[in-house]
Structure 1
């Protein structure tokens, strides 16, 4: 079955509005003969004369009158689809955004972000997911924004911008020996440590930063998230070494100290898919997240 020529909808809309082949031709920049051929095609397509002579003019048939409002609505809808997006009206925006963040992201930045979004766009719902890995595939369909420390080149369909920098600090419970006095590199290294690694590794960025001093951490436990590391430091004599900004809320009531050697620093980036780059609502959300985190 041949597809209909949708350009004929525009022609029919103008014809029914003008009631004249000549005037319709002027509006569409068509010659009288070209306009007459278009009307003939419309008659064949609809099986109806549509416009018939009445004296010196044309009058619509009942079928034409039946189609007029429907055709006008279709043309207006098509014009709206093929025009740039309208101004974003935040107070009336209704949408759910999914944001994926690493351990501690929601605790550190979620309250401020939820408050800002709620104040400006009360119809917007935020859905937070915890990162289980570095795979960017969810950005292609289910995730609107992701946060990550970008170490390898991103796929060409994933965009990013720096979100904030974070520096590692040491965390112990108030009764821990490292909670009083100056923390030395030797004292830090000699303590029992919990390491954070999704892959179960006993060494990471902290150990690379510590290596030039000639000391090595005594890692006795490995967990897959900063929250778990802080929880162990709270309930035992283990030392957790975690990103400062990411874990600020999680560390409440614990003793935090600066590392006695140049600490590792990471840049957390905001990631999104190219399919959402021009979306006005998504652009607003990206700006809101950047403001809340910076």
Structure 2
């Protein structure tokens, strides 16, 4: 395939068509007429040898190939936008750049308020987009880092890429305050006998403190798995379940639900949140500003 023969505008058209699933709406999104967008769709169909969009009744549905193209198309558009938005210098006071960071609801809860305060004072037009961490994004971390401004998550999951440390935290254990099994406090035995609510259960996804339990000979009896941290207190309160949670988040959520917070009965690996990024961003003035800003946020909340 000769890349020079392809029209970059077709990538933007494909992205809009896959997301909107409607020719008229996709055209409106790109500022194109319906006939012009239909012509783009026809060119894309010839290129891929696939219908991409199939009318079913009054709506369009994606073909299997089109559905498979959604993620890679989104990543490609992000990379192209970053290439053409690069500048030799960066002025946060006037820039309208959008930074995209993959992270957990926990990290957004802890650093979001201070980050937005700084942006409001120094970069009023800069926008932040936070994408939720999930297992596929971390398993294919190179693609994730190339197509975003970075990933904020603890040490122990990503290696071989540059990073800057942002803030530290520690693990605690949530339980219902009236759990009769814990009347005399939480022990190591309880970690193996009480039911758990776990987060991101899997070999590449579990929290480091949870993975530590296996090395200590403790196999948690997982009763429920969720892919976020903020719901943990609500799934523990009024039950016999326990859960590992970061101390900073537990403090923030204390006003919304009644849970007892117990220190870990073992030396849990501390949480050290960092911004991981691809080396291609290293010399970008805007990215340097983002890294420095996140480091400053960490200093304010530590």
TM-score normalised per structure 2: 0.58
Question: For 1:198-218, what per-residue CA distance to the aligned partner results, in whole angstroms no more than 9, with x for missing partners?
Answer: 438998744554467665533
**2:171–2:247 CA contact under 8 A, matched in 1:** yes
Measured after TM superposition, the shift of residue 170 of structure 1 is 0.3
Match for 1:140 among 112, 136, 146? 146
Give the 5 Å matches for 1:36-115.
85-86=88-89, 88-115=90-117
Question: For 1:234-261, what per-residue CA distance to the aligned partner results, in whole angstroms no more than 9, with x for missing partners?
Answer: 3533111123235542454432110122
CA distance in 2 between partners of 1:276 and 1:202 (Å): 25
Change (3 A) 1:138 1:187: closer
Structure that is richer in helix per residue: 2
Give the 5 Å matches for 1:1-294.
85-86=88-89, 88-133=90-135, 134=138, 135-136=140-141, 137-141=143-147, 143-151=148-156, 154=159, 158-177=161-180, 181-199=184-202, 205-206=208-209, 209-210=212-213, 216-234=219-237, 236-252=239-255, 253=257, 254-294=259-299
Q: Which runs of 5+ in 1 are unaligned?
A: 1-83
The alignment yields a C-alpha RMSD, in angstroms, of 3.1
Change (3 A) 1:201 1:240: farther
Change (3 A) 1:145 1:215: closer
Question: For 1:8-60, what per-residue CA distance to the aligned partner results, in whole angstroms no more than 9, with x for missing partners?
Answer: xxxxxxxxxxxxxxxxxxxxxxxxxxxxxxxxxxxxxxxxxxxxxxxxxxxxx
Measured after TM superposition, the shift of residue 167 of structure 1 is 2.2
SS at match of 1:289: helix
Question: For 1:172-194, what per-residue CA distance to the aligned partner results, in whole angstroms no more than 9, with x for missing partners?
Answer: 23333367553233344432222
CA distance in 2 between partners of 1:208 and 1:131 (Å): 18
Measured after TM superposition, the shift of residue 220 of structure 1 is 2.4
SS at match of 1:249: helix
Measured after TM superposition, the shift of residue 121 of structure 1 is 0.8
Q: Which has the larger radius of gyration?
A: 1
Change (3 A) 1:205 1:279: closer
CA distance in 2 between partners of 1:214 and 1:197 (Å): 20
Change (3 A) 1:277 1:200: closer
Question: For 1:144-184, what per-residue CA distance to the aligned partner results, in whole angstroms no more than 9, with x for missing partners?
Answer: 121133436645xx421233333221012333336755323
CA distance in 1 between partners of 2:186 and 2:152 (Å): 32
CA distance in 2 between partners of 1:237 and 1:95 (Å): 47
CA distance in 2 between partners of 1:202 and 1:116 (Å): 31
CA distance in 2 between partners of 1:184 and 1:151 (Å): 26
CA distance in 1 between partners of 2:209 and 2:279 (Å): 34
Aligned length: 207
Measured after TM superposition, the shift of residue 124 of structure 1 is 0.6
